[in-house]
C-alpha cells in the first residue's frame, strides 16, 4: 500500500492505494472510494492520436512541434495558446507557466481556475494582502458558535468536511436551493439568485445600526471602515428584504448570531461565480472585519476551494497575469527574479495575457491564437456559453489535448496525448487549508502513457527552448521553490516529501499581509444579475454539483457506481412551476437562454425557489445556456445565474 491523496476535490483526503488500484482509508466520500476505477477506465487513452488515428509518440510530438512552428511563423508567438487546470499538481502548474513563457514565448496562458474561484482570490488579495482559501485550519471551525456558509454545499461536494460543521453550533446556509447542507442548518436563507452582495451589505448595515461593530478591532487592525460603512448606508433591511427575499427579522437574527463570537463566515462558488463575484466576497469580508472575526481563534473569513489543487494551481504561474510565487508578471523585480531562475532575460518574458474566457473566445479570430495546447482541462464542457467555446475550438488551425480519457475537448483535438493520472504519478498538491501534501505513485501506469511533465519537457526540447526543463517532479519542485522564494507565496521552506503549510496554519493573528499590516475594507455596492428575468426569460437558472460527479465529469462519468447513482443531467424545478408548464416528474423540459437551449428530464422538488431552476454542470449541456458576462476585477464569468425560459417537451 502506498499513501497518496484523492484525485478530486481540494480536501485532498489521504488514502492508501495498492499496486492493483484498491483503496483503503478512514474517511472518504463515494467519489474517493471509487477513484480506483478511473485508473482502469475502459476507454483509457494509452496511445497518442493524430487526426483520430493511433500514432507513435515520436510522430505525435513531431506533429505538435511542426504545427506550433507553422503557426508561430505565420503570426508570432502569441498565436499559440496554453490552457491549464486547477487539478494539475504544483509541479505541472509551475512547469506549464514556464513552458508557455520560455518555450513558446506566449502571453496566452490561463486555466480553468478562472471559472472556479478567481473572484474570491482577487477579493482576498485586496482585503488581506494574500490569497489563502482558508487562512485558518479547518479544525478551527469546530470552535465557532456560528458559521455562515454562503453558496456552499459541502454535504454533497466534500462530505468529510461536514465533520467541522457539526456539534453545538448554529449553522446558517445561504442558497437558493434547500440543499443537503441547508437541510442540516438551523437557518436557511433561500435568497433570490444573484443577490448575495445585497445580503452582505444589509448585514453590515444592521451590524452598524444595532451597535454590533467591534470598534476596537476596526480601529487597531483595519483601514477604510468609514467608506465601506457609508456604502452600506443605502442597504436598509426592508430594501434588502425586497432584493434578496430574506425577511428583516432573519437578517437581524443572523447578524446578532455572528456578532456573538466565535463565528466564521465561509463563501464558495454560489457567491463567487458571478460578474460581481469579487465585490460579493469583499462585502462578506467587510462584514467579517466589522465584527472583528479574521485572525481570532475559532473566527474568521474563508472560502472553500473546489478543485483538487485549486489553491496550488493559482500560485505557480499558470494564470495569465502571474509568475511563480504568486508574483505579478508586470512587476520588474518579479520578472528579474523568475527570469534568473529560468535562465532567460527578463525582457524575453511575455507580459500578461487575456483571462480564460476571453482567451477561449478569441481562438481562431483575427489576431487571436490559431493553436492551443490543453493540459488537465475540459473547457468544451466547463466554460460558460459552451457552444461558442466549442465553435472557437473548432476554428483553430491546431488543437492538442493531454488527458487520461477522451474528454469532449479531446474529441475536438488534432493531436491527443495519453498521460498519467493521480495514483500513477509523484508530485505535490496544496489543499484548501494551504497544506502541501505529497502525491505518490502507487500504481504502474499503462504502457504507452507519459506524464504531462514529460510532454512539456519533450516539446520544450524539440522547440529548442532556452534554460533547463526536467520531467522529474522532485527536481521541478526544487526549482519551483527557488522561483517562489521571497514571493507573496513562498514554498522555499516546504519539503517535497514531508510537506507543510506556507505562511503558517492560523494567519493574520497579529497582522495582515498588506503593506501596513491592516486589513482593508473596500466600499462596494450592489448591482443586479447581468440578466434579470423578463417576459421572454421568466425564470432564473443556477448551476452546481451533485454528490457523485466531479467538475466536467470526464473522470467520474466513467465510474459505474457513480453513474448508477447520478446517471445524467436533470432540471430541478418547483412543483408550482411544473404545474404551470405543465410537466410531470421525469418528463423532458427544454431550458432556453439568450445563448442556447438544453433539454433534460424534470426533477420536481419543493426544495428550490418557485422562480428558479437548477442544473448540474457535470455533463455537456448546462453551460450551453450560462452567461459569459465577466467580473471586471477577476474576470470570473457569471456562471451561477442567468435568465431562462422552461418549456415542456414530453415524455423521456
Ligand atoms: Fe476525494 Fe474530496 Fe471526496 Fe475527499 S471529499 S474523498 S478529497 S472527492
| pTM listed for this prediction | 0.96
Residues 6 or more apart in contact with residue 333 via CB below 8 angstroms: none
Check if 31 has its Cβ closer than 6 Å to any atom of ligand 1.
yes
Cβ pair 648, 582 in contact under 8 A: yes
In CATH terms, the superfamily for domain 118-304 is Dimethylsulfoxide Reductase, domain 2 (3.40.228.10)
pLDDT interval class at 407 (50, 70, 90): very high
Return the ligand 1 atom nearest residue 550 CA: 8
How far, in Å, CA of 380 to CA of 392, rounded?
10
- Evaluate: CB of 10 within 6 angstroms of ligand 1: no
Residues of the chain with CATH 3.40.228.10: 118-304
Residue 90 near ligand 1, beta carbon < 6 Å: no
Give 181-213 pLDDT, tens digit per residue: 999 999 999 999 999 999 999 999 999 999 999
Give the CA count within 13 Å in the CB-facing half-sphere of 503: 28
Report the C-alpha gap between 307 and 325 in whole angstroms: 19
Continuous segment of H or E residues that includes residue 454: helix 452-462
Indicate the top mutation candidate among 13, 433, 555 to test ligand 1's pocket, ranked by most ligand atoms within 8 A of CB.
13
**pLDDT tens for each residue of 130-184:** 999 999 999 899 999 999 999 999 999 999 999 999 877 899 999 999 999 999 9
Mean pLDDT of all residues in 106-122: 95
Cβ of residue 155 lying under 6 Å from some atom of ligand 1: no
490: exposed, middle or buried (C-beta count within 10 Å: 0-12, 13-18, 19+)?
middle
Distance CA 88, CA 67 (A): 25
Q: Which CATH architecture has domain 539-650?
A: Beta Barrel (2.40)
In ligand 1, the atom with minimum distance to the C-alpha of 25 is 6
Please name the residue that has the C-alpha cell 486547477: 86
SS (H, E, C) 527-574: CCCCCCCCCCCCEEEEEECCCCCCCCCCCHHHCHHHHHHCCCCCEEEC
Nearest-angstrom CA–CA distance, 440 and 423: 7
User: What confidence score (pLDDT) does residue 504 get?
Assistant: 77
Position 537 scores a pLDDT of 98
Rounded-to-10 torsion of CA 61, 62, 64, 67: 180
CA 306 to ligand 1 center in whole angstroms = 10
Determine if ligand 1 sits within 6 Å of the CB of residue 469: no
Q: Pick the residue whose CA is nearest to atom 3 on ligand 1.
A: 29
Tell me whether residue 649 is exposed, middle or buried, using C-beta atoms within 10 angstroms of its C-beta: 0 to 12, 13 to 18, 19 or more.
middle
What CA–CA distance (Å, rounded) separates 629 from 194? 13
pLDDT band at 320 (very low <50, low <70, confident <90, very high): very high
| Order of strands, sheet of 427-430, starting from the edge strand that comes earlier in the sequence | 427-430, 435-439, 500-501
Rounded distance between C-alpha atoms, residue 442 and residue 353, angstroms: 38
pLDDT (0 to 100) of residue 650: 67
Reduced to 3 states, what is the DSSP secondary structure of residue 381? Answer: helix
> What are 183's strand-pairing partners?
none
The region that residue 433 occupies, defined by phi over 0 for left and psi between -120 and 50 for alpha, beta otherwise, is alpha
The CATH number for 44-115+312-501, chosen from 3.40.50.740, 3.40.50.2300, 3.10.420.10, 3.40.50.1220, is 3.40.50.740
Compute the residue count for the chain.
Answer: 652
Mutation test of ligand 1: which of 24, 32, 432, 550 has the most ligand atoms closer than 8 Å to its C-beta? 32
Q: Using a 6 Å cutoff on CB, does residue 11 contact ligand 1?
A: yes
Cβ pair 81, 373 in contact under 8 A: yes
Residues 425 and 442 sit within 8 Å (Cβ to Cβ): no
The verdict on the CB of residue 32 being under 6 Å from ligand 1 is yes
- Which helix or strand (DSSP H or E) is residue 536 part of? none
If phi > 0 it is left, if psi is from -120 to 50 it is alpha, else beta; for residue 392 that is alpha
Task: Give the distance from CA 64 to its chain's centroid.
Answer: 29
Specify the pLDDT at position 560: 95
What are the residue ranges of CATH 2.40.40.20 in the chain?
539-650
How far apart CA 299 and CA 143 sit, in angstroms, is 8
What residues does CATH 3.40.50.740 cover in the chain? Answer: 44-115+312-501
Q: pLDDT tens, 602-640?
A: 999 999 999 999 999 999 999 999 999 999 999 999 999
ipTM: 0.99
List the residue whose alpha carbon is closest to atom 2 of ligand 1: 9
Amino acid at each position: 500500500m502506498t499513501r497518496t491523496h484523492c484525485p478530486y476535490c481540494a480536501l485532498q483526503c489521504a488514502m492508501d492505494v495498492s499496486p492493483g488500484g484498491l483503496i483503503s482509508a478512514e474517511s472518504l466520500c463515494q467519489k474517493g472510494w471509487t477513484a480506483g476505477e478511473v485508473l482502469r477506465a475502459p476507454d483509457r487513452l494509452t496511445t497518442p492520436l493524430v487526426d483520430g488515428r493511433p500514432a507513435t509518440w515520436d510522430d505525435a510530438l513531431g506533429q505538435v512541434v511542426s504545427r506550433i512552428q507553422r503557426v508561430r511563423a505565420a503570426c508570432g508567438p502569441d498565436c499559440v495558446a496554453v490552457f491549464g487546470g486547477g487539478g494539475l499538481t504544483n509541479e505541472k502548474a509551475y512547469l506549464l507557466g514556464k513552458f508557455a513563457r520560455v518555450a513558446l514565448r506566449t502571453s496566452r496562458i490561463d486555466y480553468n481556475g478562472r471559472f472556479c474561484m478567481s473572484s474570491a482570490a482577487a477579493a482576498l488579495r485586496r482585503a488581506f494582502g494574500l490569497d489563502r482559501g482558508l487562512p485558518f485550519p479547518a479544525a478551527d471551525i469546530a470552535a465557532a458558535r456560528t458559521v455562515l456558509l454562503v453558496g456552499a454545499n459541502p454535504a454533497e461536494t466534500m462530505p468529510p468536511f461536514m465533520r467541522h460543521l457539526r456539534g453545538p453550533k448554529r449553522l446558517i446556509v445561504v442558497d437558493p436551493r434547500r440543499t443537503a447542507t441547508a437541510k442540516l442548518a438551523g437557518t436557511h436563507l433561500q435568497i433570490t439568485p444573484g443577490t448575495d452582495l445585497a445580503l452582505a451589505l444589509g448585514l453590515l448595515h444592521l451590524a452598524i445600526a444595532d451597535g454590533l461593530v467591534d470598534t476596537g478591532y476596526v480601529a487597531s487592525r483595519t483601514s477604510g471602515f468609514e467608506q465601506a460603512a457609508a456604502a452600506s448606508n443605502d442597504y436598509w433591511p426592508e430594501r434588502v428584504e425586497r432584493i434578496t427575499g430574506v425577511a428583516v427579522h432573519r437578517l437581524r437574527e443572523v447578524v446578532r448570531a455572528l456578532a456573538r463570537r466565535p463565528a466564521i463566515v465561509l463563501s464558495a462558488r454560489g457567491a463567487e461565480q458571478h460578474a460581481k463575484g469579487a465585490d460579493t466576497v469583499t462585502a462578506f469580508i467587510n462584514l467579517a472585519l466589522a465584527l472583528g472575526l479574521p485572525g481570532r481563534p475559532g473566527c474568521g473569513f474563508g472560502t472553500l476551494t473546489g478543485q483538487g489543487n485549486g489553491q496550488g494551481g493559482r500560485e505557480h504561474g499558470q494564470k495569465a497575469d502571474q509568475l511563480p510565487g504568486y508574483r505579478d508578471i508586470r512587476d520588474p523585480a518579479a520578472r528579474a527574479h523568475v527570469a534568473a531562475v529560468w535562465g532567460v532575460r527578463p525582457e524575453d518574458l511575455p507580459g500578461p495575457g487575456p483571462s480564460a474566457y476571453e482567451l477561449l473566445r478569441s481562438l481562431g479570430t483575427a489576431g487571436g491564437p490559431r493553436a492551443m495546447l490543453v493540459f488537465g482541462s475540459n473547457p468544451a464542457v466547463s466554460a460558460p456559453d459552451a457552444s461558442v467555446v466549442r465553435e472557437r475550438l473548432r476554428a483553430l488551425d491546431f488543437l492538442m489535448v493531454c488527458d487520461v480519457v477522451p474528454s469532449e475537448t479531446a474529441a475536438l483535438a488534432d493531436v491527443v496525448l495519453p498521460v498519467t493520472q493521480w495514483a500513477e504519478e509523484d508530485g505535490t498538491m496544496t489543499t484548501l487549508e494551504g497544506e502541501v501534501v505529497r502525491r505518490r505513485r502507487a500504481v504502474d501506469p499503462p504502457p504507452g502513457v507519459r506524464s504531462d511533465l514529460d510532454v512539456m519537457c519533450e516539446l520544450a526540447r524539440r522547440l529548442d527552448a532556452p534554460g533547463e526543463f526536467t520531467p522529474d517532479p522532485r527536481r521541478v519542485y526544487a526549482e519551483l521553490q527557488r522561483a517562489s522564494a521571497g514571493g507573496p507565496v513562498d514554498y522555499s521552506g516546504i519539503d517535497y516529501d514531508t510537506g507543510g503549510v506556507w505562511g503558517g496554519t492560523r494567519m493574520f493573528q497579529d497582522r495582515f499581509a498588506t503593506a501596513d499590516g491592516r486589513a482593508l475594507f473596500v466600499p462596494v455596492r450592489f448591482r443586479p444579475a447581468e440578466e434579470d428575468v423578463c417576459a421572454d426569460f421568466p425564470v432564473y437558472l443556477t448551476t452546481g454539483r451533485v454528490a457523485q460527479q466531479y467538475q466536467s465529469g470526464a473522470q467520474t462519468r466513467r465510474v459505474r457506481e457513480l453513474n448508477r447513482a447520478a446517471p445524467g443531467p436533470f432540471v430541478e424545478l418547483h412543483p408550482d412551476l411544473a404545474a404551470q408548464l405543465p410537466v410531470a416528474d421525469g418528463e423532458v423540459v427544454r431550458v432556453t437562454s439568450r445563448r442556447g437551449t438544453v433539454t433534460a428530464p424534470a426533477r420536481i422538488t419543493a426544495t428550490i425557489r418557485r422562480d428558479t431552476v437548477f442544473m448540474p454542470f457535470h455533463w455537456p449541456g448546462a453551460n450551453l445556456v450560462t452567461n459569459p458576462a465577466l467580473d471586471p476585477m477577476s474576470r470570473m464569468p457569471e456562471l451561477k445565474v442567468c435568465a431562462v425560459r422552461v418549456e415542456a417537451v414530453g415524455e423521456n
